[in-house]
A and B are shown apart, each in its own frame.
Chain A
C-alpha cells in the first residue's frame, strides 16, 4: 500500500520531510500546508503537488492516510488533536507538546481515534546509535556504568541569514529551552537504551542569554539497570558539537569515533543513483536519520503496525523533562 501523506509546516525540518516524502517509494506526497507564503512557494518549487494555506482545508479536500506535523511547539497540541480526530496517522516533530497536560491530550486523541502517533526522536534511527543499542544489549563492552552525552551549539541562535522565529523567544510557545529541545533527544535515546522511568538525580539549568528559558542544562538520570546518564546540552556556543559515550565495565565507546566523514565517494554514489533514477541518500547523518524515521513511520502505517516511538514514549520523555525543570537548580 502506498501511504498518501500531507505535510503540515514547511519550516527547517519540514523541508527535510518534503524532500524525503518525495523520495520514499512507499509514500505519495499529496499536499502540503503552511501559513507562510514563502514556505508554500518553496514547497511548490520543490515538487509538492498541491499547497494549502490552511491545514484544515487540506484535510477536508484531500484523501490522506497520514500527516507529518513540523510546527512551532505550541501548535503541536491543537493541530495534532485535530488531525487525530480527522482519523489521520501522525508523525509529529519533537517535543510531543509544551506541557504534560497538552501531551496527554494528544496521546488521548490518538488513542480514542485509533490513529498511529509517532514522535520524531530521530536519533533512534541513527546508524551509530542503533549499533550502540546492540552493544548495550549484547554486553559487548560489559555493563554500562555511565553514559555521558553532550550536545552544545547555537540551537536556534545559530547564525543564518534569517532571523530567529519570534515564537522561539516566548517560553510558553517553546515549552523551555535547550533541555526540552536538544535534551529531549538525549533523554529519549537514554530510554531507548536503558528502559523507562529513570529517576532524575540532579538537574541544573541557566540562561546566559538573559532570556526566560535555559540555554544550558546539566542533568543526571538513573535507570533501573543501575546505569547513570549525564546529559549536558547548551545553546551558547557558535559551533555545534555532540557526542555520546558509553562507559562500559570492559571499555568505553564514543559516537565521535564512529561518525562517518562525508566524503566525495558518497557524493559520487548519489550522482550515479540520480542518473539511474534511483533514490538519493542524504550525505549527512542528520538528514539520514530523518529519512529513516519517516520511512519507519510510512512502513508502520502501511503494515498497520505500531511505530517504535509511540505517543506514550514521548509522553514519558516529556515527564522526565518536566521533572528536571521542577527540581532544577539555577546557577
Chain B
C-alpha cells in the first residue's frame, strides 16, 4: 500500500510552499538510495493560461520545488524543466508566457521542449488499435523524474492529475489523435514513462470544470495511480469510476490501494464550497444529457443548412 500525503499551505509564497513540500515528502517517507545527477521536472503547461486559472502549474510552486530539490536531493544536480508541445500549445511560447524563462534564468535550470528533443518511437497495440508515442531521450536517460501536475477536473477523463500529466510528456505534438482512446493511451504512456515522485500543485485547484479555486493543498506520493486515487476522492469521485486510473493500475503503472498521511481526505475535500460538489454531480448529469441532445441537433442542422455560424 502506497502512502499519499496531504499537506495544507496557507499562502502562495516560495518559502511556505517549500516547507509544505518538505513536510509532504517526509510524510511519505521519501528517501533516495543514490543521489541523482540529472533531474527532470514535468509541470503541466497544457496551454497559455496562467496559474490563476487553475490550468497550469504555478511558477511559484516550481521555484519552491527547485529549492527543495537543491536542499533535499542534490545541490549540484542538473535540473531540467520539461514539457512537450500539444495540439494547440507550443512549449517555447508557454515557457515564455507563463514565466518559466524567468525561473530558468534565476534558478540556473534548463528548459526543454520535449518535442524538439531527440526521441525514440514506441508503438503499442491495444485491442486492435495501434498507438505511436515519441519518447524523449532526456526523459529516458534522466536519473530522476518529478511529476508536477495540477489538481483539476477535466471532462474527457473526469480528472487531470498525475497520470494525465505524464500523457503530456509524450513528445508527439498532435495529441488530439489519441482523444478517442484517451484512457488507454494515458495508461500505456504511464507504463513507459514512470515518474519517481509526484507532487501535485493544488494551490489553485479546479474543483469543477473551468472553475478555479484557491485551495492551498499539496499532494505527494511515489505512485501516480495512488496519487490520482486520492485526488479523485478529494474531488468527490470514486477512483474506480475513472477509466484511466483503473487501466493504469491494470497495466502495472501503480496500485489502487493507498494510505493517506497528513491531513485527511475529508478535511481537504471540505475546503471546497459545497456547491462545487453538488455542481459537479449536476453538471455531469446535465452536460452528458445536453451534450448528446445538442450534438444531435447540431448534426441535423449542419446536415441540412451547412456550417453553424
Is the CB of A131 closer than 8 A to any CB of chain B? no
A209-B48, A238-B210, A271-B301 given as contacts; is B308 within 8 A of A283 (CB)? yes
The answer to whether A267 and B48 touch across the interface, beta carbons within 8 angstroms, is: no
Residues in B with CB closer than 8 Å to A270 are 301, 305
A79 CB–B CB distance under 8 Å:
no
* Residue A275, interface by CB 8 Å: yes
CA distance A157 to B97 in the complex (A): 11
B window 45-87: CB within 8 A of A: 47-50, 53, 87
Partner pick for A161 among B88, B97, B210, CB 8 A cutoff: B88
Residue of A nearest to B102 (CB): A210
CA distance A283 to B309 in the complex (A): 6
Question: Does B99 count as interface, using CB distance less than 8 angstroms?
Answer: yes
Cβ of B93 < 8 Å from any Cβ of A? Answer: yes
Of residues 8 through 32 on chain A, the ones whose CB sits less than 8 Å from some CB of chain B are 16, 19
Question: Once the chains are docked, how many angstroms separate the CA of A105 from the CA of B48?
Answer: 36
A159→B87 contact, CB < 8 A: no
Question: Which A residues are in CB contact (< 8 Å) with B128?
Answer: none
Q: What is the CA–CA distance of A280 and B308 in the complex, to the nearest angstrom?
A: 11
Residue in chain B with minimal CB distance to A262: B308
Count of chain B residues with a beta carbon within 8 Å of a chain A beta carbon: 23
What residue of chain B has the Cβ atom nearest to residue A280's Cβ?
B305
Which of B90, B96, B301 has the most chain A CB atoms inside 10 A of its CB? Answer: B301
Cβ of A307 under 8 Å from chain B: no
Bound: A211/B48 CA distance, A = 12
Q: Of the candidates B101, B301, B309, which one forms a contact with A19 in the assembled complex, judged by CB atoms under 8 Å apart?
A: B309
**Does A60 make an interface contact (CB < 8 A)?**
no
- Say yes or no: A210-B88 contact (C-beta < 8 A), given A238-B49, A287-B309: no
A157 to B96, CA, bound (A): 14
Task: With CB as the reference atom, state the residue of chain B lying closest to A215.
Answer: B97
By the criterion CB–CB under 8 Å, are A16 and B301 in contact? Answer: no
Within A266-311, the residues touching B (CB, 8 Å) are 267, 270-271, 274-275, 280, 282-284, 287
Name the one of B50, B88, B99 contacting A162, with C-beta atoms under 8 angstroms: B88
Chain A residues 240 to 281 lying within 8 A of chain B, measured CB to CB, are 267, 270-271, 274-275, 280
Q: Residues of B contacting A239 with CB < 8 Å? A: 210
Q: Is the CB of B99 within 8 A of A210?
A: yes
The 8 Å CB contact of A284, one of B87, B97, B309, is B309
Is B1 an interface position by the 8 A CB rule? no
Q: Please indicate the chain B residues that have their CB under 8 angstroms from the CB of A209 in the complex.
A: 48, 97
Asked whether A161 and B87 contact (CB < 8 A) given A238-B210, A267-B301, A274-B304, the answer is yes
Residues of A with C-beta under 8 A to B305: 267, 270-271, 274, 280
**What residue of chain A has the Cβ atom nearest to residue B101's Cβ?**
A210
CB <8 Å contact, A280 and B306: yes
Closest B residue, CB atoms, query A291: B309
Q: Which of B47, B50, B308 has the most CB of A within 10 A?
A: B308
Q: Assess the A159–B88 pair: CB atoms within 8 A.
A: yes
The reply to whether the CB of A61 lies closer than 8 angstroms to some CB of chain B is no
Assess whether B105 is interfacial by the CB under 8 Å rule. no
**Distance of A70 Cα from B98 Cα, bound (Å):** 30
Contact among B87, B304, B306, B308 with A275 in the assembled complex (CB-CB below 8 Å) = B304
Which among A157, A210, A239, A284 has the greatest number of chain B C-beta atoms within 10 A?
Answer: A210
Nearest CB of B to A43, in Å: 13
Query: Within the complex, which residue of B53, B88, B99, B309 is in contact with A163, where a contact is CB–CB below 8 Å?
Result: B88
Q: State whether B88 touches A169 (Cβ < 8 A).
A: no
Contacts A162-B88, A238-B49 given; does A211 touch B309 at CB 8 Å: no
Closest beta carbon of chain B to A129's beta carbon, Å: 19
CA distance A275 to B303 in the complex (A): 12
Contacts of A157 in B (CB 8 A): 48-49
Q: Shortest distance in angstroms between A139's beta carbon and chain B's nearest beta carbon?
A: 36
Residue of B at shortest CB range from A157? B48
Q: Scan residues 198-248 of chain A and give those whose CB is less than 8 A from a CB of chain B.
A: 208-211, 238-239
Residues of chain A lying within 8 A (CB to CB) of residue B304: 271, 274-275
- Contact between B53 and A19, CB atoms less than 8 A apart: no
Contact check, B97 vs A210: say whether CB atoms are below 8 A apart: yes
Residue interface mask A156-177, B partner, CB < 8 A = 1: 0101111110000100000000
Point out residues on A near B: beta carbons under 8 Å.
16, 19, 46, 157, 159-164, 169, 208-211, 238-239, 267, 270-271, 274-275, 280, 282-284, 287
6 A-B residue pairings within 8 Å (CB atoms) = A164-B88, A270-B305, A271-B305, A275-B304, A282-B309, A284-B309
- Which residues of B pack against A, CB within 8 Å? 47-50, 53, 87-90, 93, 96-97, 99, 101, 176, 210, 301, 304-309
A208-B50, A275-B304 given; 9 more Cβ-contact pairs under 8 Å:
A19-B307, A162-B87, A164-B93, A169-B93, A210-B97, A210-B99, A211-B97, A239-B210, A271-B304
